Chain A
Amino acid sequence: MGSIDSVTLSVINNALVNICREMGTAMMRTSYSPIFNEGLDFSCVIFNRRGEMIGQAEFCPTMLGSAQYAVNWTIEELGLAAFEPGDVVIHNDPYRGQCHMPEHMVLKPVFFGGELWGFVANIAHIGEIGGMAPGSFAADATEVYQEGLRLPPVKVMRRGEYVRDVWKIILSNHRTPKTSWGDLHAMIGSLSIAETRMRELLERYGARYLTDAGDRLLDYSERWMRAEIHEIPNGVYRASDCMEDDGVTDRPVWLRLKLVVKDEEVIADWTESDLQAKGPVNATFVVTAAASYSGLLHLTSNEIPRNSGCYRPIRIVTKPGTVVNVRHPGPSVGGNTETHPHLQNVVVAALSQAIPERAAAAEGASGCNFLFAGVHPDTGEYYTNYHIDGSGWGATATHDGDSAMCPENGNCRNTPVEVLESKFPWRTLEYRLRPDSGGPGRFRGGLGSSRVLRVLAPEITVSALMDRTKTQAWGLFGGGKGASGGIFVKRKGDARFRTFSEAFGTVSDSKFTRVVLREGDEVMIWSPGGGGYGAPSERGQGDVGRDVRQGWVSRDAARDSYGNDR
């Protein structure tokens, strides 16, 4: 490895990050579905030819952590010799290194001077991939085959030409093939941009130099992460949390962590977790690994260049057949959106014992996944949509938790009311923060939101997959719990909202599929709030007064939780 000065290394790192950002912008601007162009539920990455991630940007932590497994699997299964210029491979198989079925990875080799140099890739949420529930979030699935079309790594483009047989299989298994066609092309288009930019970098620096620079960045990130871990006192730290139910059986499923910090390394041992669930709250190994990385990244310097080097000092131990490492053919669609943030929260909770000043209280930790489908009365066209709502984040030692934010593991955006109403037959009657949903504390937990939607079409089929509707986000060091979330329905003519279990007999209040609503029915989604940090009595009365004026804390709660009776 030749000499590369630190300024040049920094320039190359920023170039890699910017290529990933440009890929993301291209996808946002060219995709069809709101979960892409509004939700930004995608991640873009760059790999060397050994399958190590050397570049990423500020996308979804769950995808970023899992990308290296999906890419590595693809390289190992197909072999480097299988790649030709212009190829694009697609892959969404949770039993081949992916996180869950809706997340599709497309990967393109980058050739320079006739040699394979590396790969550009992105992972994105395809909003409808078939299976038992429209929107492909089957909250009562009991096996992966009910969750949609499972694709091992296969080429959708070969030397720049469509592999039509594969496209036909994909599009004939998705309920909204036109949207899939558009979103998949947005993904593939972003790969072409990245390929062009990588070639420009290779022209500028040369293949050997850029490879060396990538290796140095990986080593640099590893050294920095090791130094950060070294600052954490050695010890064994334990924490646990549960998924409130699995959508099929009404009982909690426990996630248990033994986290060992020894010098410069961390072992995240999840083997004491419950056996895998019947329903789809199971995490794949990849999800558990990504959540463990994400937890550590939240507690260490945000200046460390994000690449595979960061992950080297973090070791994961799981047992196949448990909720943290589902065995085939168990379902896992909720593992990535619901279980992942719980796992990440558990990592932070464990380390809060060692580094309380860096930790955060628990977040709402639910994507509040709400799926709906039907025939639009204005167009006569069949549609589906994957909708997410933000919940409250946990407070930290220095800040209140953010309100109505997508869980930290997703880092996605809320879809604006205008977009929702212009594309789908819903009227939004209410969208607001929920007073008193943030856990009280010296620093208050973030607030959850309340959204009320009325059906404008003759019928809409809805499904949901949420958590923390019976449990609550915990506080830290005397901080209070955040409020539970929920999803409720009011049939036309009813006087009040009820749970879906009460109204339709679903096993779970928060996880169900294919409930048919009629025109005039209303749905209310309450996202959970985040936990507080520190004793509420230590909160400044000025801050409490501001919270009351803003409507974030009621006068009763200000008096009862904070002793403020003004």
Chain B
Amino acid sequence: MGRWKKNPAQWHEQTMVYCELCGKIIPKNLWIAGESGQTLVFCGPDCEELHKTYWLPSRAERA
């Protein structure tokens, strides 16, 4: 299960954090989730869910 975290970047830092699933740049509120020991950043729980149910199986299928 993931958790919300504020992007720690300062106002003057032009950092861009992309959602692992949809690819959208996330403004401030990051959804942090762990998968197989890896930390992944999503827009929210919906994207984490789709990553599990669609993206990982389709990538495995391609491989």
Which residue numbers of A lie inside 8 Å of B, CB to CB? Answer: 69, 72-73, 76-77, 95-97, 260, 267, 269, 285-286, 289, 315-320, 325, 327-328
Residues of B within 8 A of A318 (CB): 22-24
Known: A95-B16, A317-B55. A267 touches B25 (CB 8 A): no
Q: How far is the CB of A401 from chain B (nearest CB, A)?
A: 33
A260 touches B54 (CB 8 A): yes
Q: In the complex, what distance in Å separates the CA atom of A260 from the CA atom of B58?
A: 11
Closest to B11 in A: A77
Residues of A within 8 A of B16 (CB): 95, 327-328
Residues of B within 8 A of A260 (CB): 54
Point out the residue from A69, A97, A315, A320 that lies within 8 Å of B18, measured CB to CB. A320
Q: How far is the CB of B63 from chain A (nearest CB, A)?
A: 14
Most chain A Cβ neighbours within 10 Å, of B16, B23, B28, B54: B23
B23 touches A320 (CB 8 A): yes
Residues of B within 8 A of A69 (CB): 24
B26-58 vs A, CB cutoff 8 Å, 1 = contact: the mask equals 011100000000000000001000100011001
Q: In the complex, what distance in Å separates the CA atom of A308 from the CA atom of B27?
A: 19
Q: In the complex, what distance in Å separates the CA atom of A69 from the CA atom of B43?
A: 12
Given contacts A97-B27, A317-B54, A318-B23, 12 further A-B contacts (CB under 8 A): A69-B24, A76-B27, A77-B27, A96-B25, A269-B58, A289-B24, A315-B22, A315-B46, A315-B50, A319-B23, A327-B16, A328-B16
Closest to A285 in B: B24
Q: In the complex, what distance in Å separates the CA atom of A96 from the CA atom of B16?
A: 9
Point out the residue from A72, A267, A320 that lies within 8 Å of B27, measured CB to CB. A72
Residues of A within 8 A of B29 (CB): 76
Decide if the interface of chain A is mainly helix, strand, loop or mixed: mixed
Q: In the complex, what distance in Å separates the CA atom of A286 from the CA atom of B22?
A: 11
Closest to B62 in A: A272
A-B contact pairs, 29 of them (CB 8 A): A69-B24, A72-B27, A73-B27, A76-B27, A76-B29, A77-B28, A95-B16, A95-B25, A96-B25, A96-B27, A97-B27, A267-B50, A269-B54, A285-B23, A285-B25, A289-B24, A315-B22, A315-B46, A315-B50, A316-B23, A316-B24, A317-B22, A318-B22, A318-B23, A318-B24, A319-B23, A320-B23, A325-B23, A328-B16
Q: In the complex, what distance in Å separates the CA atom of A286 from the CA atom of B54?
A: 21
A317 touches B21 (CB 8 A): yes
Q: How far is the CB of B24 from chain A (nearest CB, A)?
A: 5
Residues of B within 8 A of A327 (CB): 16
Q: How far is the CB of A383 from chain B (nearest CB, A)?
A: 34
Q: In the complex, what distance in Å separates the CA atom of A73 from the CA atom of B54?
A: 26
Residues of B within 8 A of A267 (CB): 50, 54
Q: How far is the CB of B25 from chain A (nearest CB, A)?
A: 6
B50 touches A97 (CB 8 A): no
Q: How far is the CB of A67 from chain B (nearest CB, A)?
A: 15
Q: How far is the CB of A562 from chain B (nearest CB, A)?
A: 44
Q: How far is the CB of A152 from chain B (nearest CB, A)?
A: 9
Residues of B within 8 A of A319 (CB): 23
Q: In the complex, what distance in Å separates the CA atom of A77 from the CA atom of B15?
A: 13
Residues of A within 8 A of B25 (CB): 95-97, 285
Residues of B within 8 A of A95 (CB): 16, 25
Residues of B within 8 A of A317 (CB): 21-23, 50, 54-55
Give the top 8 A-B pairs by smallest Cβ distance, nearest first. A318-B23, A76-B27, A325-B23, A320-B18, A285-B24, A76-B28, A73-B27, A320-B23
Closest to A318 in B: B23
B6-26 vs A, CB cutoff 8 Å, 1 = contact: the mask equals 000000000010100111110
Residues of B within 8 A of A286 (CB): 24
Q: In the complex, what distance in Å separates the CA atom of A327 from the CA atom of B18?
A: 10
Closest to A258 in B: B58
Q: In the complex, what distance in Å separates the CA atom of A285 from the CA atom of B17?
A: 13
Q: How far is the CB of A308 from chain B (nearest CB, A)?
A: 14
Q: How far is the CB of B10 from chain A (nearest CB, A)?
A: 13
Q: In the complex, what distance in Å separates the CA atom of A110 from the CA atom of B46?
A: 29
Q: In the complex, what distance in Å separates the CA atom of A289 from the CA atom of B29?
A: 20
Q: In the complex, what distance in Å separates the CA atom of A327 from the CA atom of B54?
A: 24
Q: How far is the CB of A248 from chain B (nearest CB, A)?
A: 23
Q: In the complex, what distance in Å separates the CA atom of A207 from the CA atom of B40?
A: 39
Closest to A153 in B: B27
Q: In the complex, what distance in Å separates the CA atom of A327 from the CA atom of B16?
A: 9
Q: How far is the CB of B45 from chain A (nearest CB, A)?
A: 13
Closest to B22 in A: A316
Q: How far is the CB of B52 from chain A (nearest CB, A)?
A: 13
Q: In the complex, what distance in Å separates the CA atom of A39 from the CA atom of B36?
A: 53
Residues of B within 8 A of A96 (CB): 25, 27
Residues of A within 8 A of B23 (CB): 285, 316-320, 325
Q: How far is the CB of A398 from chain B (nearest CB, A)?
A: 35
Q: In the complex, what distance in Å separates the CA atom of A76 from the CA atom of B24?
A: 14
Q: How far is the CB of A360 from chain B (nearest CB, A)?
A: 27
Residues of A within 8 A of B55 (CB): 317
Residues of B within 8 A of A316 (CB): 22-24
Residues of A within 8 A of B24 (CB): 69, 285-286, 289, 316, 318
Q: In the complex, what distance in Å separates the CA atom of A564 from the CA atom of B43?
A: 58
Q: In the complex, what distance in Å separates the CA atom of A319 from the CA atom of B24?
A: 9
Q: In the complex, what distance in Å separates the CA atom of A565 from the CA atom of B44?
A: 63
Q: In the complex, what distance in Å separates the CA atom of A398 from the CA atom of B38?
A: 52
Residues of B within 8 A of A76 (CB): 27-29
